[in-house]
Amino acid sequence: MKARTAPLATALLLLASLAGVRLAMRADAGHVWLLGRLFGSACAFREHFGVPCPNCGMSRSIVLTMHGNMVEAMSLNPAGPLLVLGVLAAALLLGIAAIRSRDFAARRWVMRSALAYSGVYVAVLIGHWIAVIG
Amino acid sequence: MFCTRCGATIADTSVFCPSCGSGVQRPAGAPPAAFPPAPTPVPPPLFAPVAPAAPVAYASPGTVGPSVPLDCASWGSRVLAYIIDNLIVLVLVIPLALLAGALGVGASALSSVSNAGGNVMASSCCCVLALFPVLQIGFGIYNRVFLIARRGYSIGMGVAKIKVVDPWGNLLPQSTCWLRLLVQVLLGMVPVVGILDLLWPLWDQWKQTLHDKVVNSYVINFPQAVAMP
Produce one character per residue of A43-80: b if its CB has 16 or more CB atoms within 10 Å, e if not.
Answer: eeeeeeeeebbbbbbbbbbbbbbbeebeeebbebbbbb
Are B201 and B208 spatial neighbours (Cβ–Cβ below 8 Å)?
yes
Taking the C-alpha atoms of residue B135 and residue B121, their distance in angstroms, rounded to an integer, is 21
CA distance B92 to B192: 29
The Cα–Cα gap between B77 and B56 comes to 22
pLDDT category, A28, cuts 50, 70, 90?
confident
Q: Is the dihedral of CA B97, B102, B107, B109 positive or negative?
A: positive
Mean pLDDT across the stretch A70-88? 94
What is the least distance, in Å, from the CA of A84 to any CA of chain B?
A: 9
| Contact by Cβ (8 Å): B41, B48 | no
ipTM score of the complex?
0.79
The total of structural domains in chain A comes to: 1
Cβ–Cβ below 8 Å for B187 and A115: yes
Q: How far is B78 from chain A (nearest CA, A)?
A: 16
SS (H, E, C) B84-122: HHHHHHHHHHHHHHHHHHHHHHHHHHHHCCCHHHHHHHH
Q: Which domain holds residue A74?
A: 2-133
Which chain B residues have a beta carbon less than 8 Å from that of A10?
A: 196, 199, 202
Mutation choice for A interface testing from B74, B184, B192, B216 by most A CBs within 10 A = B192
- Mapped onto helix, strand or coil, the DSSP state of residue A28 is coil
Q: Is B219 helix (H, G, I), strand (E, B) or coil?
A: strand
The answer to whether the CB atoms of B63 and A108 lie below 8 A apart is yes
Query: Tens digit of pLDDT for each residue in B54-106?
Result: 444 455 555 667 878 889 999 999 999 999 998 888 887 778 778 777 777 77
Q: Which of B193, B213, B214 comes nearest A117 by C-beta? A: B193
Nearest CB among B63, B189, B206 relative to A107 is that of B63
Contacts of B219 (CB under 8 A, 6+ apart): B72, B73, B77, B78, B157, B162, B163, B164, B165, B201, B207, B208, B212
Share of chain B above pLDDT 70, in %: 63
Percent of chain B with pLDDT over 90: 26
- Residues A65 and A79: their CA atoms lie apart, in Å, by 11
Closest chain A CA to residue B208: A106
Tell whether the model's pLDDT for residue A29 goes beyond 70.
yes
Per-residue pLDDT at B116: 67
**Cα–Cα nearest to A65, from A52, A78, A56, A55:** A78
Of B63, B199, B202, which is closest to A103 when you measure between CB atoms? B63
Band of residue B124 on the pLDDT scale cut at 50, 70, 90: low
Nearest Cα of chain B lies from the Cα of A104 at a distance, in angstroms, of 8
Chain-centroid distance, C-alpha B216: 13
pTM, to two decimals: 0.69
> Do the chains contact at A7 and B63, CB–CB below 8 Å?
no
| Contact B65/A at CB under 8 A | yes
Residue of B nearest to A79 (CA): B190
Contact between chains at B204 and A108 (C-beta distance less than 8 A): no
pLDDT at B191 over 80: yes
* Distance of alpha carbon B214 from the chain centroid: 14
Distance CA B49, CA B220 (A): 9
Burial of B178 (0-12, 13-18, 19+ CB in 10 A): middle
Strands in chain A per DSSP E: 25-27, 32-34, 37-39
Q: DSSP states of A78-99 as a string?
A: THHHHHHHHHHHHHHHHHHHHH
For the CA atoms of A95, A98, A100, A101, the dihedral, rounded to the nearest 10 degrees, stands at 150
Residues paired with B219 in a beta bridge: B164
Question: Are A84 and A65 contacting, i.e. CB atoms less than 8 angstroms apart?
Answer: yes
Quick: pLDDT tens for B71-84: 999 999 999 999 99
Integer angstrom CA distances of residue B62 from A25, A106, A109, B196: 42, 9, 8, 21
CB–CB contact B203 A7 (8 Å)? yes
At B202 the three-state DSSP class reads helix
Q: Tell me which DSSP letter residue B24 carries.
A: P
Contact between B186 and A122 using a beta-carbon 8 Å cutoff: yes
By C-alpha distance, which of A24, A42, A23, A49 is closest to A132?
A: A49
Tell me which range, A37-51, A76-90, A111-125, is most confidently predicted by mean pLDDT.
A76-90
CA A115 to the chain's CA centroid: 16
Cα distance from N-terminal residue to C-terminal residue, chain A? 52
- Select from B203, B211, B212, B213 the residue whose CB has the most chain A CBs within 10 Å, as the one to mutate to test that interface: B203
